[in-house]
Amino acid sequence: MSEEKKSTFLKGAVILGLAGVVVKILGAAFRIPITWIITSEGLGYYQTAYPIYVLLISIATSGFPVAISKMVSARRAHGDVRGADRVFRIIFVILLAMGVITSTVMLFGAKYIVTVMLQNPKAYLALVMLVPAILLVPVMAAFRGYFQGLNNMNPSAISQISEQFARVIFGVGLAILFVPKGLEYGAAGATFGATAGAICGLSVMLYIYYKNKKTRQLELESSPVFPREKTSDILRELITIALPIIIGALVMPTMNTIDLALVMRRLVSAGFTHAEANTMYAQLTGIAATLINLPQVITSAIAISLVPVISSAYAVNDIKRTRENTNLAIRVSLLIGLPCAVGLFVLATPIIGLLYPNEPASVGGILAIMAIGVVFLSLIQSFTSVLQGMGKAHIPVFNLFVGAAVKFVLTYVLTALPSLNVKGAAISTVVAYVVAAVLDYFSVKKYLGLKFSVNDFLFRPLITAGIMGIIARVTYVIIVPFAGNSISTLLAVAVGGVVYVVTLFLTKTITREDLQSLPKGKNIIGKLEKMKLM
């Protein structure tokens, strides 16, 4: 792969990754105070409504943006700029119509869903406050997919940050304003943050799109004229690409929605009250699951950047570049996922004590279990993007479905055991990720004929992450008697991070070639040489 093309892929991943870091920091600035404001009980109402919202917008934010990105990048790879623009316009109309229909159905069906299906009527207001977001998010997703198809990640990055910033301000502010009326009102204020964020994020995308209208028009006028594709052909291609991805994206949200009812019922069967079950479910999904999703900021950015790169290479039958990009993405995912998994595992209880001081230490046990799944979830994202870019989106869908089926069975069995309770649901989630990741690995290996170096992809990353975990844990144990939990946890995380970065270079896990592929890689190499790390 040429250094220019490799750098383009990594540049896109870096841009989205940095935006994702900012978004997650803002997300933490939202979730942590929200937990303090509305307590675990109010968070239970929030977590009842939010998975429904995620389930509905998964259709718009998964398959269609990826389809737009893939279809736009493939046409532009052949020089058909007009065809790429037409694809975007057609899918935009479809997503707008879907948003209108879905939000209308949700508005009139919310009462039935929370009262009859989920048996948590106090979550009604929290769900209704999400209805406008269900309309706007699909439209915003169309623009993001279009720009990603152009390999321009800046608009998506700016939009994501703007969206999250508005979500924090309005969500936290309205939760504080309404919580005196009741926890269910506080939860409703918190969920409205998603609607405020959608309004802000879409406004940014519209501004960027129309700001570049003249440049886009000049490009269209000067581009070669290709035969005009039939709308029916575009729709057929859209369905072929998007449907498997949508189904795959719906598998886990659907299972999480089923979990909402299943976990609660099984916890009650184990002898817990409805209030206790609601609180435990909030600890699992609102606290532990939130923390293990933090590392996905970078890996999801890699996955998003990977689809158009794989698609454009595969469209012109450049198998060599497809393999090289795949190897790079998987390796980076491991280098990010492994240390995050180890760090969250060895410092699970201290991290809970730092971020959620009012929660019991037992939540740390839930987080430690969930942390194991981080590395496998990171791999799933990269493997899925590779297969989607190759036009084989149905394969990760099937693999994820198998994992979800395993999750359902294990959740039913393990959660009802009083000794495990909600930890059983955490274990089932991790096992589901492992199953799906292993199946994805063999699928990618089969279709691309990849050969992974055990030393570069497994041994060295494991050694560096292991050293980091040991030193981070020892640092915490030594300091905590003198400095308390909060300072000790922060220092342990900082020391672990520094140790990991240094060890990456000492063990030659990161090479000079890797750094040269990064934006401003030569400057980074120069600084590392001065520090005698390279």
Task: List, for residues 131-148, the tens digit of each pLDDT value.
Answer: 999 999 999 989 988 888
Q: Give CA–CA dist 331/383, Å, rounded.
A: 11
Outline where 150-230 has alpha helix (H).
154-178, 183-211, 213-222
Residue 391 tokens read as: 């036009």
Mean pLDDT of 86-90: 90
What are residue 35's phi and psi, to 5 degrees?
A: -65, -40
Residue 454 has pLDDT above 80, yes or no: no
pLDDT score for 471: 96
Mean pLDDT comparison of 218-222, 332-336, 433-437, highest-scoring range:
433-437
Question: Shortest CA distance to 201 belongs to which of 151, 147, 161?
Answer: 161
Dihedral over Cα of 391, 308, 384, 386: its sign:
positive
Q: Where are the domains of the chain?
A: 3-452, 453-534
pLDDT score for 1: 47
Mean pLDDT of the residues in the chain? 82
Which is more confidently placed, 375 or 26? 375
pLDDT band at 155 (very low <50, low <70, confident <90, very high): confident
Q: What pLDDT digit, counting tens, does each position of 346-381 carry?
A: 999 999 998 888 887 788 999 999 999 999 988 888
Which is more confidently placed, 192 or 307? 192
pLDDT score for 480: 92
% of residues, the chain, pLDDT over 70: 84
Which is more confidently placed, 411 or 285? 411
Residue 48 has pLDDT above 70, yes or no: yes
Q: How far from chain centre, in Å, is Cα 458?
A: 23
End-to-end CA distance of the chain, in Å?
24
pLDDT score for 349: 92
Q: Name which of 208-217, 280-289, 293-302 the model is least confident about.
A: 293-302
Q: Name which of 25-29, 335-339, 391-395 the model is least confident about.
A: 25-29
Mean pLDDT of 258-282: 81
Q: What pLDDT digit, counting tens, does each position of 295-347 carry?
A: 776 666 666 666 666 766 766 677 777 777 777 778 878 888 899 999 999 99
- For 180, which DSSP code? G
pLDDT score for 28: 61
pLDDT band at 11 (very low <50, low <70, confident <90, very high): low
> Angle 520-524-529 (CA atoms, 0-180°, nearest 5)?
145
Q: Give CA–CA dist 200/184, Å, rounded.
A: 25
Q: What pLDDT digit, counting tens, does each position of 489-531 carry?
A: 999 999 999 999 889 888 887 776 666 655 555 666 666 666 6
pLDDT score for 487: 94
pLDDT score for 368: 94
pLDDT score for 68: 87
Count of alpha carbons within 13 angstroms of residue 214, beta-carbon side: 1
Mean pLDDT of 218-228: 80
The pTM score is: 0.69
Residue 252 tokens read as: 């886990």
Mean pLDDT comparison of 259-268, 387-396, 498-507, highest-scoring range:
498-507
